[in-house]
Amino acid sequence: MTAPHLHLPTPFPLAKVVTIATVAALALTAATAVAYRGLPSLGAVRAAGVPVRSADGRIVGQEVAVLTEAPDVPPPITRSYATKVIVNLEVIEKPMRLADSVEYTMWTFGGSVPGSFIRVREGDLVEFHLRNAANSTMPHNIDLHAVTGPGGGARASLTVPGGESVFSFTAMNPGLFVYHCATSPVPMHMANGMYGMILVEPKEGLPKVDREFYVMQSEFYTKGKYGEHGMQTLDMDKGIDEKPTYVVFNGAVGALTGDRALQAKVGERVRLFVGNAGPNLTSSFHVIGEIFDNVYGEGGSSVGEHNVQTTSIPAGGSTIVEFGVEQPGDLVLVDHAIFRAFNKGTLGILHVTGPENRTVFAAIKGIGVTAKGGQ
Ligand SMILES: [Cu+2]
């Protein structure tokens, strides 16, 4: 016999082998026809293969993007169609607070570090206007990781002080994407605060939650030691050695503590859009006292894991985490590479108010327990 791989018993008539093969082929053809008679869902296509996307969808009307400063996020998109979204973003260089009594001349997208949050819908045509303030000392540009195109738009957007560049792209891939300046020397521009995030919402939208926040981790490399007062400048050697003086959320030590803490109520669902600008370190993002119910791994468009304690965010990457809050108190956002949290600034608070549920958690006895049985 000539079909050893089929482990056919011998003797086996050749005609019968041909018949079996023909029937099998016909069955496969029929199954394929059934599968494609109705269009497979987009999710199924995504899971099954590598799509070559089209940017030829219909664009209806236009609007100007609402941009927000961290920790705020623009409202969810309720449109059911693609439109032209005009983004106006200005680069501004200015001294800003890095820590108490510590200043640093930050190079910003929109006047804040991290830069303005941009929210568009999958399929939207984005017309990007990048301006560079007249009093800037340097040319700047932008590389958005959401862009399919050369340099993420970097070359097309190179802008001298006082100038403006315009380019457009179709937001074809849904997800949460980092953007940053990519003007030479790139590490210097990034180390000085030039990064932010753009969310491309999937066509079907994201599940409804009660609170959304924008949190971005990044490093600062200063000539002075951590906490040394006064105006600080970039220490390139520390950057090259990957030894940051500061590792912070939202551009400064304490940007998410005290009066600036994030707020939520017991029973609410919270979504955090978390980015990591680097420039060097990977973040081990963790919220002390909470568990991530959903993690959109690496900021992609679908939930990859449930019930996660700590999620890894590469430099130039992101994650989306969702969780319900079940108990009042302070939840603590950290990079769980823990010296960074306690000695370099990577610490934020999500303050939760509401009724205590002693079934969820109860302090019973010990020096940490108050007379009322609380903490
Ligand atoms: Cu720049």
pLDDT, tens only, 196-225: 999 999 999 999 999 999 999 999 999 999
DSSP 59-71: EEEEEEPP-B-TT
The pTM (predicted TM-score) of the whole model is 0.86
CB-CB neighbours of 204 under 10 Å: 12
Per-residue confidence band for 31, with pLDDT thresholds at 50, 70 and 90: very low
Q: How far is the CA of 272 from the centre of ligand 1 (A)?
A: 27
Beta bridge partners of 295: 305, 321
Q: How far is the CA of 16 from the centre of ligand 1 (A)?
A: 72
Cβ atoms of 283 and 335 within 8 Å: the answer is yes
277 in the Ramachandran plot: left (φ > 0), alpha (ψ -120 to 50) or beta? Answer: alpha
Residue 36 reports pLDDT greater than 80: no
Residue 37 reports pLDDT greater than 70: no
The amino acid present at 234, given as its one-letter code, is L
**β-bridge pairing 305-308 and 310-313:** unpaired
Q: How far is the CA of 140 from the centre of ligand 1 (A)?
A: 4
330-354 pLDDT per residue, tens: 999 999 999 999 999 999 999 999 9
From the list 275, 253, 181, 283, the residue with the least C-alpha distance to 245 is 253
> Across residues 220-237, what is the average pLDDT?
98
Q: How far is the CA of 222 from the centre of ligand 1 (A)?
A: 18
Q: How far is the CA of 275 from the centre of ligand 1 (A)?
A: 19
Per-residue confidence band for 4, with pLDDT thresholds at 50, 70 and 90: very low
DSSP 256-278: TSGGG-EEEETT-EEEEEEEEEE
CB-CB neighbours of 364 under 10 Å: 7
Q: How far is the CA of 107 from the centre of ligand 1 (A)?
A: 7
Residue 253 reports pLDDT greater than 50: yes
Q: In whole numbers, what is the pLDDT of the chain averaged over residues?
A: 89
CA–chain centroid gap for 101, Å, is 30
Cβ atoms of 333 and 348 within 8 Å: the answer is yes
Per-residue confidence band for 329, with pLDDT thresholds at 50, 70 and 90: very high
Q: How far is the CA of 213 from the centre of ligand 1 (A)?
A: 25
306-319 pLDDT per residue, tens: 999 999 999 999 99
Q: How far is the CA of 55 from the centre of ligand 1 (A)?
A: 29
Cβ atoms of 350 and 264 within 8 Å: the answer is yes
Cβ atoms of 262 and 303 within 8 Å: the answer is no
Per-residue confidence band for 2, with pLDDT thresholds at 50, 70 and 90: very low
Q: How far is the CA of 180 from the centre of ligand 1 (A)?
A: 8
Residue 169 reports pLDDT greater than 50: yes
Residue 127 reports pLDDT greater than 80: yes
CB-CB neighbours of 290 under 10 Å: 21
Residue 52 reports pLDDT greater than 50: yes
